[in-house]
Every structure is written in structure tokens, then in C-alpha cells.
Homo-oligomer: A and B are copies of this chain.
Amino acid sequence: MRILIIEDDKETATFIEDALREQGWASVWCASPKEGLLKLGSGDFDCVILDRMLPDMDGLSALRLFRGAGVDTPVLMLTALGGLEDRVVGLDAGADDYLPKPFATSELLARLRSIGRRGPMQREEAVIEIDTLRIDRVAHTAVRDGKVLELSPLEFRLLVCLAQHRGEVVTRTMLLEKVWGYTFDPKTSLVQTHMSRLRTKLDKPFGTELIRTVRGTGYSIGAT
């Protein structure tokens, strides 16, 4: 694994580099996103560790810059802010995972392994089409039968998550992780409620149902 670290704090950076070296992974460090983009262009990296707080450019903007430039290397976002929204915003902007500071080394390594396992070719399509439904992740729009769906941000994330796994069942646990950033079960009908809301906008007005409920497991879209 070759990993690019974008982090202005020297101390944190060396801490991470040490951990990676112990694991036998190569790392390259740079302090600014601009530098990072250059390096991403030249060497091929398996993953980027990106700090959310940077002096000259915000981590989120940096991420958008990368994605805009056609860089599809997986990004693990670091942030001092532990808030949930923050996490969601990060994932929304195209980060593949998220780690709050301070973190345990083992946790960092685990996340990296997990990202690495997915493989480099996990191309995230900007536009996903299922039946007569067309989802544009860049324009942030969903259209079915030529009719624009007025979805709330959360509903959109939910739909995207389903669509990215079209033909597969997406478990409730998975949705909680990917859409809400939860690693626990809120013990409420959170997912179901929002799935219902999504359906009233996505399925109700069109007769045929795109979303299928898989009892005891989760939901799926675009299968059979």
C-alpha cells in the first residue's frame, strides 16, 4: 500500500508515518492540498489521508478539488470535530471513510485495510440510471420519467446509497453506517421512516415500485 498524507501538523504526520511504516506500508507526506494534487498526479497511491482542518484550504474543498480533477483514489478524512453532521458532510463530499481525532493507531490501520480491500477500481459513477430513474450525484438531482424528485439531502443520500448497490440488498446496518455515520443501532424506526418518506416521493407517484423491502434484512433497488 502506498499512502499519501496531507496534514499540516508535523507531529501528527510523523505519528501516522510511524504507524504505517510499522505496518510495512509506504507513505508520502505533504503539507498542503495543492502539493498533494501534484503528487497524486505523478505517483500512484492506494489511499489518501486528508486532514479536515488545513491552513490554506479546507479539507472538504480539497476533496472536491481532487474529485473535480478526476482523482478517484480513496480518501480517509481526519477531523478534530467529532460531530455527526460533520461526518456526513465529509462522506457526502466523496470521502470514503472518516476518522475523528484523536484516534487509536489500530483504528487507523483497520480503516485503511478496509479501504484497501475494496480495491482501487471502485469507480464512483457520477450518474446512475435505474429503469427510468436517473440520479446525478454531481448535480445532486434525481429524475424519474422526466419528473424531478424533490428530495431532502438525507433522502438523496439514502437513494444514492441504494443505487450504488443496485441489484444487491443493502442492510439496515449498512445504511446506518453509510448514510448516517452511525456504528450503533438507534433502536428506533429511523431507517424505515426515511425509507417510507423516500418511497412517497420516488414510488408513490409512479405506480411501479423500485424499492423492494427484504424483510429482516434491508432494502434493495433495481433487482430482478
- Neighbour of A104 across the interface among B82, B106, B167, B185, CB < 8 A: B82
- Residues of A in contact with B, size category: 35 or more
> Could you tell me the distance in whole angstroms from the C-beta of A1 to the nearest C-beta in chain B?
15
Q: In the complex the two chains form, is B105's CB within 8 Å of A173's CB? A: yes
Q: Tell me if A139 is interfacial: C-beta within 8 Å of chain B.
A: yes
Q: In the complex the two chains form, is B18's CB within 8 Å of A185's CB? A: yes
Q: Tell me if A27 is interfacial: C-beta within 8 Å of chain B.
A: no
Q: Tell me if A58 is interfacial: C-beta within 8 Å of chain B.
A: no
Set of chain B residues within 8 Å of A111, measured between Cβ atoms: 104, 107
Q: In the complex the two chains form, is A139's CB within 8 Å of B223's CB? A: yes
Instruction: Give A132-168 interface residues, CB cut-off 8 Å to B.
Output: 138-141, 143, 148, 152-153, 167-168
Q: In the complex the two chains form, is A140's CB within 8 Å of B220's CB? A: yes
- Neighbour of A102 across the interface among B117, B172, B183, CB < 8 A: B183
Set of chain B residues within 8 Å of A138, measured between Cβ atoms: 167-169
Q: In the complex the two chains form, is B104's CB within 8 Å of A217's CB? A: no
Per-residue contact bits, chain A 208-224, to B (CB 8 Å; 1 contact, 0 not): 00000011111010011
Q: Within the assembled complex, what's the spacing in Å between the Cα atoms of A19 and B172?
A: 9
Q: Tell me if A84 is interfacial: C-beta within 8 Å of chain B.
A: yes
Set of chain B residues within 8 Å of A52, measured between Cβ atoms: none
Could you tell me the dominant secondary structure of chain A's interface residues? mixed
Instruction: Give A167-222 interface residues, CB cut-off 8 Å to B.
Output: 167-169, 171-174, 177, 183-185, 214-218, 220
Set of chain B residues within 8 Å of A168, measured between Cβ atoms: 138-139
Q: List 25 A-B contacts (CB under 8 A).
A: A21-B216, A21-B217, A22-B172, A22-B174, A22-B216, A82-B106, A84-B106, A99-B110, A100-B106, A102-B183, A103-B110, A104-B114, A104-B183, A105-B177, A106-B177, A107-B114, A138-B167, A139-B167, A139-B168, A139-B220, A139-B223, A140-B220, A141-B224, A153-B215, A153-B217
Per-residue contact bits, chain A 71-88, to B (CB 8 Å; 1 contact, 0 not): 000000000001110010
Set of chain B residues within 8 Å of A141, measured between Cβ atoms: 223-224
Set of chain B residues within 8 Å of A24, measured between Cβ atoms: 217
Instruction: Give A86-122 interface residues, CB cut-off 8 Å to B.
Output: 87, 99-100, 102-107, 110-111, 114, 117
